[in-house]
Chain A
Amino acid sequence: MASLNRKRIRLGNHDLPFQLVLLAFGIVTFFPLVLVIITSFKSNTQFYHNFWLPELPLHFGNYSSALRIIWRYIVNSVLYSGSTICLIAMIASVAGYVFARFIFPFKTALFLGFITLIMVPGVLTLAPRFVLVRDLGLVNTPGALISVWVSGGLVLSTWLMRSYFESLPQELFDAAYVDGAAEWQVFIYVSVPLARPMIATVAMTTLISTWNDLIWPLVTITDKDKMPLAMGLMQFSSDFETDWGTLFAGYVISSIPLLCVFAVAMRQFISGLTSGSIKA
């Protein structure tokens, strides 16, 4: 016991430098973001006068002028990413459930066929996808983004949902069958409520990948008022090129939605993602 205690204490002393390393990491990580916040309150004169320290007075006006432009892009992104998430959540939970719980010919072959294509980089299909979307008359419409985002995100999402449904104990389902539940009832009243954590994870991976996707909107969207945020920020950057305060205020505003979502649900996101994909 005594020796064990001594070990604990030694460990404790060892940990002090580690904590310092952690702090250093933290500062390096956060400093650029703090710089953005500091700059967002500056006028141009203040910005050129002192590049990286805060300076009074604070210019809150930057935020209102940035918001006037940025809100449009945020609304667009919420709509586009929101519809994508809903569609993916529905399709992937049904497909994942079927792949996990049904036995039917070619099941494994079908599933493996889908999964191997996860390696295919999205950019590979950029050219033919554009031609396809153009032929369908979807260029410069939300449909161009949503259709491609949904089909692109479905693979990982179905994979995650399938591994989750597979991990649920058989007794849960047996109990429901014994009570006379039909398959669709088991799905809606038993499986989906149980899978809520994994659905949340799916929603968040989809949110990250669609919210920050730049290259596909760049190819398909041309109207300013239809741009999603990631692309709108690019437009915004060239519109406000010389107005640093407003530019950075816009960046701060644009970061808030995702930060809020992840502040609330991060632990959930990580555990779902890793338990689903790593154990598979």
Chain B
Amino acid sequence: MFGRGRKIAPYLFISPFFIGYAIFFLYPVIQSLQLSFYRQVGLNKAPRFIGFDNYVRLVTKDDLFIKALTNTTYYALGSILIIVPLALLLALILHSPKLRLREFFRFLYFTPNITAGVVVGIIFGLVFEEQYGLINNLLLAPLGIDNVRWLREARWVMPAVILLGAWKWTGINAIYFMVGLQNIPPELKEAARVDGATRWQVFWHVTLPLLRPILAFVLTIAIIGSYNLFAEPAILVGLEGGPNNAGMTMTMYLYTRGFRELKMGYASAIGYSLAVIILVLSVVQLVLIRAFRED
């Protein structure tokens, strides 16, 4: 019907997409895999093939890598166990039909998300400041709790970063959940309530199962976002991660190894480990969510 042009045309039209993607995305992805099997220090030195040595060293000898992995996982757990439920709660409240100023609240909760990482880092430097900071001064002091040395003491660094994450991400996740809630026909809930279900039962047996696609989306974004965390902790506690490297994330570690010490091969190995972790976690999460549908 359309002759020969029709056969080549599709490839022609997607070629800009193809080319840009292949050069600046696919090629580096492959190049990075190759580089991770080499030892390359400095940008102009010839790389030397060392097989899996980079990976072996990462897992067996590199305490800082393990530390960064632990820190990042700590943050990811915090983000999944604290930020996502909080966002869901917020969405349920925002969804209540009698709410006034819904648009205003939505915008309000969205603002942290579009604030630059540098600004967020500096603001939270003040929030967590030991003597004059907002939390110690306004929240803890009235309750008679001693000053917490948020950014100075190793065990408080990650909780501080999680609080920052909650501030930044709860709103946008709540907005995603709200869209999901809007897609649930109100008749379903009405029917359940007429049948005598409590609010909690309606939530657990009607709302939550129907939210599953959005939940999968939010969790995937949360996992990817957590393991890519860079700007906020870097500004908050510095690229070394503050006291005892307690705030060093995997991305910060990759950056310091790759661009401070110019160990490109090693940095690529870190990058691939990170990619594999994210991929595995995302798949596990999707499978788990699907499994819940079966019962």
Contacts and interface: CB of A to CB of B under 8 A. Distances in A.
Contacts of A208: 113-114
A25 B264 contact: no
A233 B74 CA distance: 29
A47 B183 CA distance: 48
B123 A35 contact: yes
B140 interface: no
Interface in B157-203: 167, 170-171, 175-176, 179-180, 193, 199
B28 A125 contact: yes
Interface stretch (A56-64, A92-100, A192-200): A92-100
Contacts of A67: none
A114 B228 contact: no
Nearest to B126: A35
A104 B10 contact: yes
**Chain A interface helix/strand/loop/mixed:** helix
A126 B254 contact: yes
Contact of B112 (A29, A124, A237, A254): A29
Contacts, number: 245
Contacts of A233: 116, 118-119
A110 B108 CA distance: 40
A255 interface: yes
A251 B235 CA distance: 14
Contacts of B115: 33, 255
B14 to A, nearest CB: 5
A51 B99 CA distance: 35
Nearest to A4: B194
B251 A254 contact: no
A36 interface: yes
B282 A123 contact: no
Given A91-B16, A92-B17, A259-B114, A119 B275 contact: yes
Contacts of B193: 7
B81 interface: no
A262 interface: yes
Contact of B119 (A150, A254, A267): A254
Interface in A245-280: 247, 251, 254-255, 258-259, 262-263, 266-267, 270-271, 274-275, 277-279
A22 B32 contact: no
**Chain B interface helix/strand/loop/mixed:** helix
A121 B227 contact: yes
Contacts of B227: 121
A267 to B, nearest CB: 7
B118 A234 contact: yes
Residue from the set A97, A124, A215, A266 with the largest chain B CB neighbour count within 10 Å: A124
Nearest to B199: A14
Contact of B258 (A126, A183, A270): A126
A91 B170 CA distance: 32
Contacts of A30: 108, 111
B20 A150 contact: yes
B49 interface: no
A23 to B, nearest CB: 9
B119 A36 contact: yes
A224 interface: no
Interface string A128-143: 1111101000000000
B213 A95 contact: no
B111 to A, nearest CB: 6
Contact of A98 (B10, B105, B111, B213): B10
Contacts of B255: 123, 126, 215
Interface residues of A, number: 86
Contacts of A134: 43
B128 to A, nearest CB: 11
A126 B275 CA distance: 12
A11 B111 CA distance: 30
A154 B21 contact: yes
Given A132-B24, A278-B217, A214 B16 contact: no
Contacts of A21: 89, 93
B119 A255 contact: yes
A202 to B, nearest CB: 13
Given A121-B227, A125-B32, A150-B20, A270 B271 contact: no
A121 B13 contact: no
Given A29-B171, A102-B10, A151-B24, A212 B117 contact: yes
Interface of B: 2, 7, 9-11, 13-14, 16-17, 20-21, 23-29, 31-32, 35, 43, 89-90, 93-94, 96, 98-99, 103, 105-119, 122-124, 126-127, 132, 134, 137-138, 167, 170-171, 175-176, 179-180, 193, 199, 213-214, 217, 224, 227-228, 230-231, 234-235, 251, 254-255, 258-259, 264, 267-268, 271-272, 274-275, 278-279, 282
Which 8 residue pairs across A and B have the least CB separation, nearest first?
A151-B24, A124-B271, A125-B28, A95-B17, A128-B31, A128-B28, A274-B179, A233-B118
23 contacts: A22-B99, A28-B167, A29-B109, A32-B134, A51-B126, A91-B20, A97-B13, A104-B7, A117-B29, A126-B258, A126-B267, A127-B35, A127-B271, A128-B35, A132-B27, A155-B21, A211-B116, A233-B119, A251-B122, A263-B107, A274-B180, A274-B214, A277-B217
